[in-house]
Homo-oligomer: A and B are copies of this chain.
Amino acid sequence: MSISIEKKVSNFTEWFDKILEEAKIVDNRYPVKGFLVYREYGYKIIENIRLLLEKKLEETNHKAMLFPIAISEDSFSKEAEHIAHFKEEVFWIEKAGSKKLDRMLVLRPTSETAIYPMLQLWIRSHVDLPFKMHQSVAVYRYETKATRPLFRVREILWNEAHTAHATQEEAEKQVEEAIKIYSEVFNELGIAYLLLKRPEFDKFAGAVYSIAFDAWNPDGKVNQIGTVHNLGTNFSKVFDVKYEKKDGTWDYVYTTCYGFGFSRTLAAIIAQHGDDHGCVFPSKIAPIQIVVIPIPYKGFENDIENYCVEIFNKLKNDYRITIDDRKDVRPGEKFYYWELLGVPIRIEIGPSEVKERTATLVRRDNLNRKNVPIENLQYEINSLLKDLDNNLRSKSRKFLENLIENCFNINDVKNALFQKKIARIEWCGNEKCAEILKNEAGGEIRGTRADIIEKANGKCLICGKESKEIVYVARAY
């Protein structure tokens, strides 16, 4: 097989497609372009990511709801920037059966325009605020660029949250809460990203400002896995969502929205943690956390089998565990198979483990082996899983740090991008300069850091005028 870490960087597309196919994550052969089939294994990972996120959303009082997929043209067109941006990338329904519909419908590309007509009915008074909902659904965007499995598809699995507040300050706080929730989830998954405030020209259509999570990718194209938007009163004004204050006066609500991409997060996990042997999944979302593999030895077959079952029974309530007891497959092939699937821990049981009542643990991230007594098994597994998660996280962060290169002229940027890196530059804030940079170096200005303050103190790399911001430049999915 042609999965190798070298390939991961040198020919990411081939490496990635191979993994998706061999680990049965998704199937890209579905006969409609840009639409993926999520196979058993891939779907389970998506489900685990979803549960991780939804738990945090529920804990912070976001209510799960479900809004329709179909949005009337009328609602969809209300917010001018929104329709201007999305109208070229939505799927239209004009016909049902053989009947032309009276009013055209769009498949939601995002749900603001589905939700606000209802907020207008539901929100009357300050006691109805804050309003915080979320839904895990698919959204539909007609990508005109080449589609890529998980990264750029036309049916996008995500969670979207929408909130409404009495004041601008509360909306600001909500943006912070959203960033915290998403950061925590990405952190648990060991995904390294840049948290960037998008430049004006690249914010969400209808937003006051947008903050995004750009995950690094081995091919140098950053992968936007989450976004958080402060919408101010842009949407509440056009949808007339007002509330009565304590003093009897009325005001528009201040709203936010944020989206967490499940398909793209899965892509980031595979791309950032994967290696020569295939996937490496963090413990929280691995569909199988532990696989027990008997190493047969003549005369000990039964003892080994029984001991494997003993270990399985000891662990089955606390971990997602399986035994690979196929008789017609050699242990080496089994190792190979479960490594490909990214199972965090392999337990090997041969005659000496049985005799000494131990277990040999092999961790997926570095393939280190450790022989431990059965009494300590749970403790050792817990600490190993924690260590594996930490290792994935810190390795990925280090990788990202090394990708960032300070650049001082357009050629620097070009070279950095050619080397699949992310350029860090001084910028005057002028969109014209961003366009020149894009045309000449091939990268987009992705924004300023939203997690730390970086002060501009030089000249714009493009026009030479005084710089206003330090921004990050990369190619992007």
* Interface residues in chain A, defined as those with a beta carbon under 8 Å from any beta carbon in chain B: 27, 29-32, 35-40, 43-44, 46-47, 63-72, 74-75, 87-99, 103, 105, 107, 114, 117-118, 121, 133, 138, 140, 142, 144, 154-155, 157
Contacts and interface: CB of A to CB of B under 8 A. Distances in A.
Contact of A117 (B30, B68, B74): B30
A281 B399 CA distance: 53
B118 A72 contact: no
A386 to B, nearest CB: 25
B65 A118 contact: no
A91 B277 CA distance: 44
A31 B74 contact: yes
Closest 6 CB pairs of A and B: A96-B142, A35-B68, A38-B66, A88-B97, A40-B63, A92-B95
B66 A43 contact: yes
Contacts of A94: 92, 94-95
22 contacts: A30-B67, A32-B103, A36-B68, A37-B66, A37-B118, A40-B65, A40-B133, A43-B66, A44-B64, A66-B157, A69-B138, A70-B155, A87-B97, A89-B96, A89-B97, A91-B95, A91-B96, A91-B105, A92-B95, A93-B93, A94-B94, A96-B142
Interface residues of chain A: helix, strand, loop or mixed (majority): mixed
Nearest to A95: B92
Contacts of A36: 68
Nearest to A114: B30
A68 B142 contact: no
B96 A93 contact: no
B117 A31 contact: yes
A142 B114 CA distance: 19
Nearest to A87: B97
Contact of A155 (B68, B87, B91, B142): B68
B27 A121 contact: yes
A72 B43 CA distance: 22
A75 to B, nearest CB: 6
A93 B65 contact: no
A92 B93 contact: yes
A69 B31 contact: no
Nearest to A115: B37
B43 A65 contact: yes
